[in-house]
Structure formats: structure tokens, C-alpha cells
Amino acid sequence: MSLLNPSAAGLLRDARRIVVFTGAGISAESGVPTFRDDLTGLWAQFDAQRLATPEAFHADPDLVWGWYEWRRARVLHTEPNPGHLAAAAIEARVPGTVVITQNVDDLHERAGSRAPVHLHGSLFAPRCVAEAAHPAPVPELAAGVGEGRRIPPPRCADCGWLVRPGVVWFGEALPEAALTAAVDAAVACDLLLTVGTSGVVYPAAEIPRLAARSGATVIQVNPEPTPLDRVCEVNLRGPAAEILPALVAAAWKEI
């Protein structure tokens, strides 16, 4: 417990409406490369921002789909870490807890979180290019995807248009339903845990600030200082895989 501020466990234990807000740091601890780090092999010659746009997909869909399938394959070879499991434990302990994530992996789901809000979409939610409301089945990984190569995207079963990755690209707005759910949860919560996020990617970075302005206590878990430090009542320095399980254990000693 030396890693924790003594008041943090009490704040968590006494909270009745909790938001767990996570960023790239928590998944990096499972070995998921960050967005710009996942450029090896064939992909090393590309700028991540030039692959992650609608224009890039329409210009070369096989290239962009192949990169996202490469990323999805890497995620599937990782496992949720104790930080993800601790977030699910908070959900189980406090009904109505909302997990909001900036990550596009499925590690929260695999850890047991029921319905995390994906602000930036998901590698596991492809959709039709023509009809964004039409989800597409998650395809089997193509042969050779682990080697990193161009892969033709599937076609929509309803209209025949291309299927695109279900992530938010540069120049696109966040999904309206996800953003509304996140804002509503932040305004209504009495405690927000911000975990492994830099606090600089907007509009997602506004969620902890919105919670603080609405009267919630904000606790940050991050190895390094971030711009969110000044809105947090408690800053816990260290990796999520260590800090979050210790915090949960201290809050509810029988867990």
C-alpha cells in the first residue's frame, strides 16, 4: 500500500457513481503498441497519421485495411492485465459504474467489463463505408496478416460497399452516441478514475475536466505527471497494473 495515497481507497469505497476513464497507458502494459509505435515491417515506411484518414482508405483500401488487421492481430495476442481486471472488479462492486476508454482494443471486454464506452471506436467493430449505422461481422484474420501486408477489405452484405475499420480517423468526429454517454456519465458521477491517459487528446481529454467541474472527485493513475494533475484530488504515480489492483484491494479488503 505504500504506492497509494491513504485517502484514495476511502474515496473509492465511498463513491456511488463511478467512471473509470482509460487511455493508451493501460493497454501498453499488456503489450499493445501505442498508435504510432505499431509501425514495423511493411508499415515502417508509413506515417501513422497518413494511414488513419478517410482519404487514405479511399485511395488505397487494401493498404489501410491490412494495417488495421495487423493491429487487430497484435491485440489478439495480448491479454488483459490486472489493471483491466481491477476496472471490471469496480464495476462488479459498484452497480452503474461506467468504463470509458480511448482505446480501440477489446481488453476491457475480455477482462469482464460489460459495455465499455469506446470514444475512439474499436478494431472489433467494422462497419459499412456507405452506411455508418450498419455494423459488419468481424472477419476471420486473413492468412499472413501477422506478416503485415495489404489485405482487401470485405464488402457489406447489405449494399456491397466496402467495409472499413470501426475506428475514429483523423478529421472525423467521435461517435455521437459514445460521446453523449461519456459526457452524461462524467456529469453524473461522484468519482472519476483517469488511468493511463495523457490528457492531451481532445475532445476525450475533456471528460475528466468535465467531471471535476461537475463536482466529482478525480483520481489519476499514471506513471508520469500529465496536464490533468491540476484537476485531480489524488495523483497516484505508477503503472495501472499495480496501482489499480492495490487500490481496489484497499477499498474493499475482502476482495
Under DSSP, the state recorded for 193 is: E
In this structure, are residues 182 and 100 in contact, taking their beta carbons and an 8 Å threshold? Answer: yes
Here the cell at position 206 is: 475533456
Q: How far is the C-alpha of 18 from the C-alpha of 95, rounded, in Å?
A: 9
Here the cell at position 147 is: 506478416
> What is the enclosing helix (H) or strand (E) of 221?
strand 217-221
Map grid coordinates 476471420 to a residue.
140
What pairing do the DSSP bridges indicate for beta strands 18-22 and 191-195? parallel
Q: How far is the C-alpha of 241 from the C-alpha of 80, rounded, in Å?
A: 10
Q: How far is the C-alpha of 94 from the C-alpha of 169, rounded, in Å?
A: 34
Which one of 84, 108, 118, 120 is the catalytic residue?
Answer: 120
Catalytic residue status for 58: no
User: CA neighbours within 13 Å on the CB side: how many for 98?
Assistant: 23
In this structure, are residues 52 and 120 in contact, taking their beta carbons and an 8 Å threshold? Answer: no
Q: How far is the C-alpha of 90 from the C-alpha of 19, rounded, in Å?
A: 10
Q: How far is the C-alpha of 101 from the C-alpha of 35, rounded, in Å?
A: 14
CA angle, 42 as apex, 38 and 44 as ends, to 5°? 50
Residues classed as catalytic: 120
